[in-house]
Each structure stands twice: as C-alpha cells, then as structure tokens.
Amino acid sequence: MAHLLHLDSSMRTEGSRSRKLSAHFANAWRAAHPDGAVTYRDLAARPLPHLDQDAFLGNVLAPSDRTPAQQAARDLTEEVVNELLAADEVVIGLPLYNFSAPTTFKAWTDRIVVPGLTTGESGGLLGHVRMTFTTARGGGYGPGTPREGWDHREPWLRHALSAVGITDVRFIDTELTLARESPAMAALDLGALEDKSLADAHAAIDALFAERAAA
C-alpha cells in the first residue's frame, strides 16, 4: 500500500503558502492513491527537541548501556524514523527563515540520521523514498536578483538527504510572499508577481501528478 508522510514546518497556521502547497500536494496524492495511507506531523505545533547529548548517545550506545533519558530520546527518534521508513513518498511544507530552514525542521533532520536504521556501512538506506518540498520565501531569490544564492535550503538538503540515501528530491517554490505584508515591498507593487508565483507552484504540483498518471 502506498504511504505518504506529510510534514509542515511553518510557524504560521493561517496564510502559510508552504502549508497551502503541501496540502495541495497531499490532496493530489490521495486522489492518485485512494487506498493509500497518509501520516501527518506538524513540526511547528509539536516541535521535536533539538539534538542533545542524550539523543546522540541513544543512537550509538547499546540498549543495555543507555540511561533512562537516553532511552527516552531513542524512543522518540525511532518514532520519527519509523514514520519515514513506512513512507515511500514525503511532502514537506518548508518556509524560508533567515535564509535557511526553520529550526523545527532542522530538529527533524537531526532525528532521521541513525546508524543501523537509515544509514549503513555502504551508505544511506532510504533510496526508495521520493521527497518533495513545497517552499515559500518572502522575497525574490531567483537568477539575477540581488539575493540570488541566499536561499541555502536546497543545497544543504540535497547533500544532507543523500547521506540517508534519498536522492529523488524536488523543490516546488513560491516567492514574494511578503509582497503585500512588508511595507518596503508593498511600495514596489509586487502583488501580481506574488500571485503568479503561487499559481505557478500549484500548477507545478498538478503537472507532476498528471505526468505520473500518464506514465
């Protein structure tokens, strides 16, 4: 049975473009897999603890050598990893905060690199998983813009995910999401470009599933 893992990480619950896009993706996936299963985790509403020594040692010590705190951390790690292991596809709503991903999402990535579960002697063990990020960024970061290259999410994630074997990774982006909210950007009258960017991202999701249906 097909299984989708759906994650959101935006601190915004109302008006979040990354959440809207990830929901669109999940709905299209359900339509394509009416008998499939979906697991949902909201990393903003239920933040994972950031990686600490107990969580790290819980992954490298034998169960008999773990303290209660290390075992509790390991239990949470296994909960998160098992959600990923059960999935053959993952969609993640990912905003841009200060030129990178939210720390709540970074906490998730730190939990999924586990020797023996997601990595082995010959490399990553999750080569069967395909992953889509539906992203949002407040300004313009495209080619030729002053902040081209300032969005550090994609280069980092492609490297980080390859460590666990995930190489089928795509990014569906929308930008200029602060065009109407930021006073400095509102003066530039970028609202129409924001709307087009969001519409293009929704269309890209539809095109992806149409391509799969035709294959």
pLDDT tens for 110-160 read: 999 999 999 999 999 999 999 999 999 999 998 998 899 999 999 999 999
Q: Tens of pLDDT along 3-52?
A: 999 999 999 999 999 999 999 999 999 999 999 999 999 999 999 999 99
φ, ψ at 121 (rounded to 5°): -65, -30
Q: Which domains does the chain have, with CATH numbers?
A: 3-214 (3.40.50.360)
Instruction: State the Cα–Cα distance between residues 175 and 198, nearest whole angstrom.
Output: 7
pLDDT band for position 191 (50/70/90)? confident
Q: Tens of pLDDT along 202-214?
A: 999 999 999 999 9
User: Running DSSP on this structure, what letter comes out for residue 10?
Assistant: -
Instruction: State the Cα–Cα distance between residues 100 and 73, nearest whole angstrom.
Output: 26
pLDDT band for position 184 (50/70/90)? confident
Q: How far apart are the first and last CA of the chain?
A: 19
The kind and range of the H/E element at 133 are: strand 130-137
Token duo for residue 20: 């809207």
pTM confidence score: 0.95
String of b and e for 159-179 (b: at least 16 CB within 10 Å)?
Answer: eebeebbbeebebbbbbbbbb
User: Average pLDDT over the chain, rounded to whole?
Assistant: 95
